[in-house]
Amino acid sequence: MAKLDFFIVDVFAEKKYSGNQLAVFPGAQNVDDTTMLQIAKEINFAESTFILGGDEKKGFEVKIFTPESEIPFAGHPTVGTSFVIKELLLKNNTNHLLLNLKVGQVKAEFLNSEEGKILPFITQVQPKFNKSFERKEIAALLNIDEKMIDDRLPVCEISTGLPFVIVPIKSLESIKMIKPNADSFVKFMKAKGLYKTNNPSGLTTSVFCFTPETYEDQNDFNSRMFCVEDEILKEDAATGSANGCFLAYFLKYINPTASLKMEQGHEMGRPSRLHLEGQLADNRYEIKVGGKCQIVAKGEWFV
């Protein structure tokens, strides 16, 4: 019986059992896509990753699967996989890696945190600013009062590989009240051409809400992310791709330079912290998203 090693990692986590869960399968070059999807369904985390070989010079080939399908990019799987490669596979002092994803090649860098722990960052591809939306229709989608959405900032869709509608919310109390309905969510995305069946990208757009009010004083913004997979509405504890899109939004509409700490997952009981570093210059975006990772488990998977 064939076996695969795997690791369970909490990503964007200050300590174990927080942040976003990730399963990483190294040595998966002989596993076909159908089996990868079946494994991702069995694990049932937001994403699982499969490393198909590679090296430090040319980059490591990585596939990312949700329980629904393969996706071209996602933030926490890329950060967590780069951490596993450096700390558990290479076990060396390298300060950067290249990951070859469906979206293209993504650079991972490793910095030291204030506590001396490894802090992996990824640099996301250039953002695409797509559709804009009225506050009224987004408020209906989120089941909140229109007045809870900040009218000083736009509501728009942005993608750095995965698309998100970025929504500015006035207060922490308001963001806690958000309760989307799965049927309404799917209906809205289909009507706007943002569902996997009618979106040119083949992906369903998700929604990322943020507010400058936070649970923890050291953080700059609180956030929540909602998506639909297999017609089921889900919330994510820490979303690197969405935070990358938010960083592009921040650089364009708020300040062309940024060094931010984002919190997410508090409403789910899995508090997360994401570090964002970026700048906008000469119409080029530098978008870096990072955070701590915690190794939770390792084991063998029977294929």
Q: What is the number of domains present in the chain?
A: 2
Whether residue 175 sits in one domain with residue 82: no
User: Could you read off the pLDDT of 283-298 as tens digits, one per residue?
Assistant: 999 999 999 999 999 9
pLDDT at position 175 is 98
If 0-12 CB within 10 Å is exposed, 13-18 middle and 19+ buried, where does residue 230 land? exposed
Identify the three-state secondary structure at position 92.
Answer: coil
What is the pLDDT, as a whole number, of residue 191?
A: 96
The 10s digit of each residue's pLDDT in 261-281 is 999 999 999 999 999 999 999
Query: How far from the centroid of its chain's Cα atoms is residue 182's Cα?
Result: 20
On whether both 137 and 259 belong to a single domain, the answer is yes
| Together in a domain, 140 and 272 | yes
Full domain range(s) for residue 296: 3-124+291-302
Q: Give dist(CA 51, CA 108) in Å, integer.
A: 15
Which CATH number covers residue 63? 3.10.310.10
**Are 199 and 270 members of one domain?**
yes
Contact between 45 and 255 under an 8 Å Cβ cutoff? The reply is no
35 close to 48: Cβ distance less than 8 angstroms: no
Residues 110 and 173 in one domain: no
Q: Does one domain contain both 134 and 112?
A: no
pLDDT at 63 over 80: yes
pLDDT the model gives residue 10 = 98
Query: What are the pLDDT digits (tens) for 15-27?
Result: 999 999 999 999 9
Tell whether the model's pLDDT for residue 113 goes beyond 80: no
Banded pLDDT at 126 (limits 50, 70, 90): very high
7 in Cβ contact with 32 (< 8 Å): no
Looking at residue 231, what is its pLDDT?
A: 85
Question: Is residue 147 domain-shared with residue 220, that is, in the same domain?
Answer: yes
Check residues 149 and 200 and name the one with the higher pLDDT. Answer: 149
- Considering the domain architecture, whether residues 117 and 139 belong to the same structural domain is answered as no
Which helix or strand (DSSP H or E) is residue 63 part of? strand 59-65
| DSSP string for 97-160 | EEEEETTEEEEEEEEE-TTS-EEEEEEPPPPEEEEE--HHHHHHHHTS-GGGB-TTS--EEEES
* Contacts by 131-134, CB closer than 8 A, 24 or more apart: 131/156, 131/157, 131/192, 131/194, 132/156, 132/157, 133/157, 133/165, 133/192
Instruction: Say yes or no: 144 and 211 in one domain.
Output: yes
CA 288 to CA 151: how far, in whole Å?
27
> Does 28 lie in the same domain as 99?
yes
- Secondary structure element (H or E) that encloses residue 250, with its range: helix 240-253
